[in-house]
Amino acid sequence: MQLTKQELRQKIFEGTIVVFNQKGLKFTMDDVAKELGISKKTIYKVFPDKEKMFLLMVDYLFDGIKNAEDEVMHDKNLTTIEKIRKILGVMPESYRNIDLRKLYQLKERFPNTYRRVEERLETGWENTIALIEKGIKEGVIRPLPICLVKMMLEASLEQFFQRDILIVNNLSYGEALDHVVDILVNGIAVR
């Protein structure tokens, strides 16, 4: 059965994640081809080079996060506080296995990809802001400048991608994100 270009792209992304977890950013396209049992030529038909693959992979991963965020927004069983907590720490289950701690090398080795990560971190906050505003109206969130909550989470995530702080402290990205979200939510919630 022949895969569509979109299906092949997704398969390559998934194989890249496996190889990235093994080798960090030092993996090669040969490594990905070997992992997937396909030719390197097939990968290059979809992605002209590793940097372009990374750029598109950032969008693929962030689009997955946005889809998970939409599920949280539409979950009628969650309170506003629970939705805020989940949205701030949203990470699709399939991403929990990605060793994102290794991404601190991204800024130096792939600056264009790093800029794309920064752009995606800084945009798409509409749902989160709307939830915080709703929480303030409901009286479950303290009235505060929402821009500061956004800035604090963005700054934390950017530090994860700029330094080896997670590796040095033996924290997974998911654990670190859960701690940051816990600190933020407990700090803004009405006691």
Ranges of each domain in the chain: 1-47, 54-188
Q: Which of 2-16, 52-66, 150-164 has the lowest mean pLDDT?
A: 150-164
**Mean pLDDT across the stretch 22-29?**
87
The reported pLDDT for the residue numbered 161 is 72
Q: Which CATH number fits domain 54-188: 1.25.40, 1.10.357, 3.40.1440, 3.30.70?
A: 1.10.357
Q: What is the average pLDDT value for the chain, to the nearest integer?
A: 87
Residue 146 and residue 148: Cα distance in Å, rounded? 5
**Mean pLDDT across the stretch 29-56?**
92
Residue % of the chain over a pLDDT of 70: 92
Identify the burial level of 74 via C-beta atoms within 10 angstroms of its C-beta, where 0-12 means exposed, 13-18 middle and 19 or more buried: exposed
Concatenating the DSSP letter of every residue in 108-172 gives HH-HHHHHHHHHHHHS--HHHHHHHHHHHHHTSB----HHHHHHHHHHHHHHHHHSSHHHHTT--
Rounded to two decimals, the pTM is 0.79
Q: Taking 70 as the threshold, does the pLDDT of residue 42 lie above it? A: yes
Residue 108 amino acid letter: E
Topology of domain 1-47, per CATH? Answer: Arc Repressor Mutant, subunit A (1.10.10)
The reported pLDDT for the residue numbered 12 is 94
Residue 107 amino acid letter: K
Q: Taking 90 as the threshold, does the pLDDT of residue 4 lie above it? A: no
Q: Taking 90 as the threshold, does the pLDDT of residue 57 lie above it? A: no
Over residues 99-135, the pLDDT tens digits come to: 666 676 777 888 898 888 888 888 889 999 999 999 9
Q: Taking 70 as the threshold, does the pLDDT of residue 96 lie above it? A: no
Q: How confident is the model at residue 156 (pLDDT cuts 50, 70, 90)?
A: confident
Residue 89 amino acid letter: G
